[in-house]
Amino acid sequence: MTKKRNYRPLRSADKLKKTMNRYYGLTTYHRYWGKIAKRPLAWVTSGAPVELLRAFKIHPAYPEQYAAIYSTNKATAQLCQVAEGEGYSQDLCSYARSNIGGVLRPDLAPLGGMPKPDLLVACNNICGTVLKWYEVIARHYDVPLLVLDTPYLTHEMTDHAKEYVLAQLKDMIIQLEKITGRPLDEKELAKQMEISSQTTSLWKKARQYCRELPSPLNAPDLFIHMAPIVVLRGTKAGLEYYKAFHEEVEERYKEKLGAVENERIRLVWDNIAIWPKVFSFNKMFTERGGCFVTDTYSGGWAIDLAPGSPLESLAATYTEVFLNRSPEFRYRQLVELIREYNADGFVMHSNRSCKPYSLVQEVIRRRVTEETGVPGLMIEADMADPRAYAEEPIRNRVQAFLETFDD
Amino acid sequence: MNQWSIAEGKNGPLSLLLAESKEKGANRQERYPQHRFFGLCCSYFPEELVMAFGLEPLRMLPKSETATPAELPSFSCSLARGLWDMEKGNQWRDLVGIGFVHTCDTMQCLSGIWEFAGQTKNITIVPPVMLKAAGGFEYYKKEVEGAWEGLKSLTGENPPLEKLREAMVLCQKIREQVQKLDKIRPFLPSSLVPAILRAGQLMPKEQYLEILKEIIPQLEEETSHSGQRVKVMITGAVLESDSLYNMIEELGGRVVADDTCTGSRHFSGDYQESKDPFTDLVERYVKMDPCPCKNKSLNERIDLVKETALKNEAEGVIILIRKFCEPHAWDAVSLEESLQKAGLRTFVLELDGSEAAGQERTRLQAFIESIQEQRDTEKGGGFQ
């Protein structure tokens, strides 16, 4: 007897697998082709201006994304323990700890760990942790560390903040020219940005179909299918993938096919996924007709590129990311999502590994509920480390929360 | 524990500083009714700006390290939890305002929460994280000028720039005195200098300078060699009490150098006068010994801590981590490796706040004894 599913799998999953496997293959075997093709490998943070790197023909690899893979493959706890054994506190980011564990013990890491970088590029628009983490990696491998310091925006972007980021981008170009031995190809940069823009637009449009009832996508779809928008941003492979993905979501929308059978409760998710429990956690909701119709996390890559010259656009786009903004901004963003997506409630993951995301959540939760009348649930866990996930207390809280929608 | 005689009277100048330090800024209105205070959470907010407006900078220190306000998750540091808990308890209500500086993710969130849900008005400066980055200096200067404008709005006053220059001169004089204190630190009980330095962040500056001028010559005269005490350096974040310093002293150690937010780091760096006070001001803040939240180059901070330890002939370094303080926890591993390579003993100590208790005592004792044993083996070292 086949097990009854509460969710509808996406056909695009096969294409996603092929697209991503090709990328991992290229990355894993970079040592065989990188030097010949004169394409250095950079470890980059998820919020780094990758279009600029691609214009220099740099092959980017994303430690955060690998860390998510380590987690879904149940390797994080062991890798974190390796890093903890070296003195890295258990209170530090689990992406960083598992990455360091993978560096020290690649034999324990899925995909054989990450290939050795030729350089590191960090942008602190997502957190301050990335700088400290990449400093450690830079010391370990003795490779150049390029940092784009995007000032935290207490209100709106200021002229001097933009000028500062712009000055750093110009300086980064000089450094990249030295490292790669190539001059900046401005046409290539413009092309990369155009592809990024088209890809972002498709990701955004596909997500917007979820405003309708029933929602064609659920949170795990968003979390899994965001991989190319992060790691293949600015590439033809990424663009082709999202054309197919968009087409399928549009088809579901037209045929009114929901991601969750008998969608009953529409929810918004806030924070990074709980990767080690991404499906089992979600199941608690789908079996009661709960569907996460949108989220703030994967939505971070659905923001249009800012106008202006390529460098001005990069400066604004990468500084104005939501994690670099005030609680006021984040509160308004959540209220808008709840209204646009006709949500009945929201769930916040208080993520021990991500302080900038999590520390402001409670004040936002209260204000959003006051403003919208919609209830919000707070769950404490960790994005990658399963040791921070307390199964039964979380189940009880989720059940109690979902019961409030029964009347 | 005090072995000096200059603070004989209860109202002696040194006693006043020690009392200030112990009070942690409480009762400031009763103690200094003629003064108005402006709270600061971090040394990267130029206190000179505040002083130019006739206000006294007050280092905001948590009353309790066990506060658990509902707005912050359990994995926030006790500094953030304690300060926010005091805001909820209306304990900052007398302040003209609060100056935040973007340093770590937690302080970023705390300043955001304060603006979003707090009562006390605040001004936030976001300095460059990469202090030597292209465009960083100009950007920092604009942020400081923005804070100046913010203070004008907050106070309704518009002081001339001469007031800023006067404040800078006063702070420079204090720093010069502190440098003298740092020189005699190895010859004074471990908790004395940190307490004096903390007092300087909690009381009116002019009065503080006068007391320093009075007590330092006396302290210089009263210094004496400290026998075979084990010489250690402490590096860490905010230390709002003397608990750890006292414990080190009790166990036969002596703190000879300090790299903490509330200690020597706060007073590091100096000015070079030009026509523009804002330029001079920013130059000093860029020159200041960096905390782990700032980057001047990959290893500058690590090397600086090592050099400070070696220069002060420390035999061991205590790397102090406030629970959930990520920047210090990150640096701890590289620091430990670098210090050990330089032949220094290291001890990584995690505390909830600044209070050291039984468990820490045992570990600290073992650390100090191990240095004593090594010294015995080598038949050398110690103060002569």
Q: What residues of B are in contact with residue A127 (Cβ under 8 Å)?
A: 105
Q: Please check whether residues A194 and A178 belong to one and the same domain.
A: no
Q: What residues of B are in contact with residue A160 (Cβ under 8 Å)?
A: 138-139, 142-143
Q: Which residue of B has its CA nearest to A161?
A: B139
Q: pLDDT (tens digit, 9 = 90+) per residue, A57-100?
A: 999 999 999 999 999 999 999 999 999 999 999 999 999 999 99
Alpha helices in A287-390 (DSSP H): 310-319, 327-340, 355-358, 361-372
**All structural domains of chain B with their residue ranges:** 25-160
Q: Which residues of A259-272 are buried (b: 16+ CB within 10 A; e: fewer)?
A: bbbebebbbbbbbb
Confidence at A376, pLDDT banded by 50, 70, 90: very high
Cβ pair B129:A149 closer than 8 A: yes
Q: Which residue of A has its CA nearest to B70?
A: A362
Q: pLDDT (tens digit, 9 = 90+) per residue, B208-227?
A: 999 999 999 999 998 777 67
Cβ pair A326:B112 closer than 8 A: yes
User: What are the E-state strand segments in chain B?
Assistant: 37-40, 56-59, 98-101, 122-125, 230-235, 253-259, 316-322, 345-351
Distance between CA atoms of residues B38 and B92, nearest Å: 9
Picking from A138, A147, A350, the nearest residue to B73 by CB comes out as A350
Q: Is A5 inside any structural domain?
A: no
Q: Please check whether residues A38 and A168 belong to one and the same domain.
A: yes
Helix (H) or strand (E) holding B283: helix B277-287
Whole-structure pTM over 0.90, yes or no?
yes
Q: What is the pLDDT of residue B5?
A: 46
- CA proximity to A219, closest of A181, A169, A263: A263
Q: Please check whether residues A34 and A117 belong to one and the same domain.
A: yes
Q: What residues of A are in contact with residue B236 (Cβ under 8 Å)?
A: none
Q: Please check whether residues A256 and A197 belong to one and the same domain.
A: yes
N residues, chain B = 384
Q: Which residue of A has its CA nearest to B127?
A: A151
Cβ pair B116:A326 closer than 8 A: yes
Asked whether A72 and A275 are in contact (CB, 8 A), the reply is yes
Q: pLDDT (tens digit, 9 = 90+) per residue, B345-372?
A: 999 999 999 999 989 999 999 999 999 9
Q: Please check whether residues A38 and A114 belong to one and the same domain.
A: yes
Per-residue pLDDT for B271 more than 60?
yes
Q: Is A254 inside any structural domain?
A: yes
Picking from A92, A129, A328, the nearest residue to B116 by CB comes out as A328
Q: Is A4 inside any structural domain?
A: no
Cβ pair B329:A88 closer than 8 A: yes
Asked whether A276 and A74 are in contact (CB, 8 A), the reply is yes
Q: What is the pLDDT of residue B4?
A: 47
Q: Please check whether residues A170 and A211 belong to one and the same domain.
A: no
The 8-class DSSP code of residue A112 comes to G
Cβ pair A129:B326 closer than 8 A: yes
Closest CA of chain B from A140, distance in Å: 10
Q: What residues of B are in contact with residue A326 (Cβ under 8 Å)?
A: 112, 115-116
Closest CA of chain B from A62, distance in Å: 20
Picking from B108, B133, B299, the nearest residue to A152 by CB comes out as B108
Closest CA of chain A from B7, distance in Å: 42
Q: Which residues of B116-127 are buried (b: 16+ CB within 10 A; e: fewer)?
A: bbbebebbbbbb
Q: pLDDT (tens digit, 9 = 90+) per residue, A342-362?
A: 999 999 999 999 999 999 999
Q: Please check whether residues A322 and A214 belong to one and the same domain.
A: yes
Q: pLDDT (tens digit, 9 = 90+) per residue, B55-64?
A: 999 999 999 8
Q: Please check whether residues A35 and A172 belong to one and the same domain.
A: yes
Cβ pair A136:B135 closer than 8 A: no
Picking from B105, B124, B333, the nearest residue to A129 by CB comes out as B105
Per the structure, the complete domain to which residue A345 belongs is given by: 188-403
Distance between CA atoms of residues A147 and A150, nearest Å: 9
Cβ pair A132:B71 closer than 8 A: no
Tally of CB atoms within 10 A around B273: 12
Q: Please check whether residues A101 and A238 belong to one and the same domain.
A: no
Q: Is A3 inside any structural domain?
A: no
The 8-class DSSP code of residue A86 comes to T
Q: What is the 3-state secondary structure (H, E, C) of B129-154?
A: CECCCCCHHHHHHHHHHHHHHHHHHH
Q: How far is CA B108 from CA A90, A163, A168, in A?
A: 22, 21, 22
Per-residue pLDDT for B8 more than 50?
no
CA B177 to chain CA centroid, nearest Å: 16
Closest CA of chain B from A247, distance in Å: 39
Q: What residues of A are in contact with residue B350 (Cβ under 8 Å)?
A: 89
Per-residue pLDDT for A51 more than 70?
yes
Q: What residues of A are in contact with residue B104 (Cβ under 8 Å)?
A: 128
CA angle B219, B225, B226 (to 5 degrees): 105
Give the least confident one: B130-134, B199-203, B266-270: B266-270
Asked whether B209 and B158 are in contact (CB, 8 A), the reply is no
Distance between CA atoms of residues B147 and B124, nearest Å: 7
Distance between CA atoms of residues B150 and A375, nearest Å: 37
Looking up residue A81, the CATH number of its domain turns out to be: 3.40.50.11890
CA angle B364, B369, B374 (to 5 degrees): 135
Q: What residues of B are in contact with residue A92 (Cβ under 8 Å)?
A: 326, 329-330
Is A407 exposed, middle or buried, given 0-12, 13-18 or 19+ CB atoms closer than 10 A? exposed
Q: Give the pair of three-digit tokens for residue B227.
A: 């026998």
DSSP states along B163-180 = HHHHHHHHHHHHHHHHHH
Percent of chain B past pLDDT 70, that is, above it, reads 95
Distance between CA atoms of residues A344 and A338, nearest Å: 8
What does the longest C-alpha to C-alpha distance in chain A come to?
66
Q: Please check whether residues A381 and A276 belong to one and the same domain.
A: yes
* Ordered strands of the B56-59 beta sheet: B56-59, B37-40, B98-101, B122-125
Asked whether A294 and A216 are in contact (CB, 8 A), the reply is no
Confidence at B142, pLDDT banded by 50, 70, 90: very high
Picking from B109, B321, B336, the nearest residue to A355 by CB comes out as B109
Contacts of A173 (CB under 8 A, 6+ apart): A52, A184
Q: What residues of B are in contact with residue A147 (Cβ under 8 Å)?
A: 129-130, 133, 295
Closest CA of chain B from A378, distance in Å: 10
Q: Please check whether residues A287 and A343 belong to one and the same domain.
A: yes
Q: What is the pLDDT of residue B328?
A: 98
Per-residue pLDDT for A374 more than 80?
yes
Q: What residues of B are in contact with residue A133 (Cβ under 8 Å)?
A: 330
Closest CA of chain A from B323, distance in Å: 8
Percent of chain A past pLDDT 70, that is, above it, reads 99
Q: pLDDT (tens digit, 9 = 90+) per residue, B286-299?
A: 999 999 999 999 99
Asked whether A267 and A343 are in contact (CB, 8 A), the reply is yes
Backbone angles phi and psi of B238, in degrees to 5: -80, 135
Our count of domains for chain A comes to: 2
ipTM > 0.90, yes or no:
yes
Q: Which residue of B has its CA nearest to A147?
A: B130
Closest CA of chain A from B34, distance in Å: 33
Contacts of A182 (CB under 8 A, 6+ apart): A38, A56, A57
Q: What residues of B are in contact with residue A165 (Cβ under 8 Å)?
A: 135
Mean pLDDT score, B323-347: 98
Backbone angles phi and psi of B119, in degrees to 5: -105, -40
Q: Report chain B's mean pLDDT, rounded to a whole number.
A: 94
Asked whether B211 and B13 are in contact (CB, 8 A), the reply is yes
Picking from B75, B133, B139, the nearest residue to A161 by CB comes out as B139
Helix (H) or strand (E) holding A241: helix A236-254
* Ordered strands of the A290-295 beta sheet: A290-295, A265-270, A345-351, A376-381
Q: What is the pLDDT of residue B384?
A: 38
Q: What residues of A are in contact with residue B80 (Cβ under 8 Å)?
A: 359
Closest CA of chain A from B297, distance in Å: 10
The 8-class DSSP code of residue A7 comes to B
CA B35 to chain CA centroid, nearest Å: 22
Q: What residues of B are in contact with residue A168 (Cβ under 8 Å)?
A: 130, 133-135
- Pick B25-160's CATH classification: 3.40.50.300, 3.40.50.11890, 3.50.50.60, 3.30.360.10: 3.40.50.11890
Sole residue written with tokens 């197919």: A244
Distance between CA atoms of residues A208 and A212, nearest Å: 8
Q: Is A329 inside any structural domain?
A: yes
Best probe of the B interface among A84, A119, A133, A135, by most B CBs < 10 A, is: A135
Q: Please check whether residues A352 and A369 belong to one and the same domain.
A: yes
Cβ pair B75:A355 closer than 8 A: yes
Q: What is the pLDDT of residue A2?
A: 54
Cβ pair B327:A86 closer than 8 A: no
Contacts of B79 (CB under 8 A, 6+ apart): B62, B106, B237, B238, B322, B325, B353
Cβ pair A87:B332 closer than 8 A: yes
